[in-house]
Amino acid sequence: MQEWIDVHCHLDRLEGGAEKALQDALDAGVQRIITIGTEPADFPVVLELAEKFAPRVFCTLGVHPHDGVKYSDDVGAFLRQKATHPRVVGIGEIGLDYYYNQSPKEEQQHAFREQLKIAAEFGLPVEIHTRDAEEDTVQILSEFSGTVKGIIHCFTGTDYLAQNALDLGLDISISGVVTFKNAESLRNTVKNIIPLDRLHVETDAPFLAPVPMRGKSNTSAYVVHTAQVVADLKNVSLQTLSEQTKKNAEKLFFKLVN
């Protein structure tokens, strides 16, 4: 039986509510979901979801680069306080986004570094968002080489980013973007650069619904469509990919098995 782990989902934002999304996910073979905190206001929300829907739902807490200006010492103290919570499996979604620049670059970089320090301090993996900021992302991650593990989530970058992330000990997570018609470069990266034992699948729901669900609000159940494309690219069966990505997720997000 195939068992999937959606390593990046915004469960609090899914159409129809969390309970329906969880049932649909279960019907599709998605056994566990990591729901993502992106800014201080949603921390209590994702924590409540992870507690309410245990043991199937876990969460991360972090300040997204769009909200870099909201990072503060108080936020850092809260992250440290919750880092040992049994349902908090990582720090994220953190990183850099120079495409939208909704927070100044300096604020983004400061928040990124401070949260990487917290991840290193508590031995937690990170979920990283990076867009149009590959060189700075690699530079900052290199400062934490050997001390922080995690994933580049919803990877849509270049082979340069993929190879450097792998060299720095990070894994790579693939979303529904890999199914898009114009994503040939990404498919080549998945096929040729990312090893099977460093690979994850995610939805980033409610965003980026995969083909054949394009145009719909994404949900965790749709991760199977992304997985099928990834399995084909890696020339393995869906069952093999299921077993390997489960193993990868449990190794990286070690609280998934506690």
51 is in an annotated binding site: no
Q: How far apart are CA 252 and CA 92, in angstroms?
A: 14
Tell whether residue 110 is among the known ligand binding residues.
no
- Rounded CA-CA distance 257/31 in Å is 12
The response to whether 129 counts as a known ligand-binding position is yes
Percent over 70 (pLDDT), the chain: 100
Q: What is the pLDDT of residues 31-41, one digit of tens each?
A: 999 999 999 99
Average pLDDT over residues 101-120: 97
- Give pLDDT tens digits for 3-18: 999 999 999 999 999 9
Cα 169 from chain centre: 15
Q: Tell whether the model's pLDDT for residue 1 goes beyond 90.
A: no
Mean of the pLDDT values across residues 108-126?
98
What's the CA gap between 109 and 101, in Å, rounded?
A: 12
Is it the case that residue 258 has pLDDT exceeding 80?
A: no
Judge whether 66 is annotated as a binding position: no
Domains of the chain by range and CATH? 4-257 (3.20.20.140)
Flag whether 93 is marked binding: yes
Average pLDDT over residues 190-212: 98
Q: How many CA atoms lie within 13 A of 188 on its CB side?
A: 8
- Name the DSSP letter for residue 218: P
10 annotated as ligand-binding: yes
> For 169-180, what is the mean pLDDT?
98
Q: SS3 string of 197-239?
A: HHEEECCCCCCCCCCCCCCCCCCHHHHHHHHHHHHHHHCCCHH
Q: What is the average per-residue pLDDT within 130-155?
A: 98
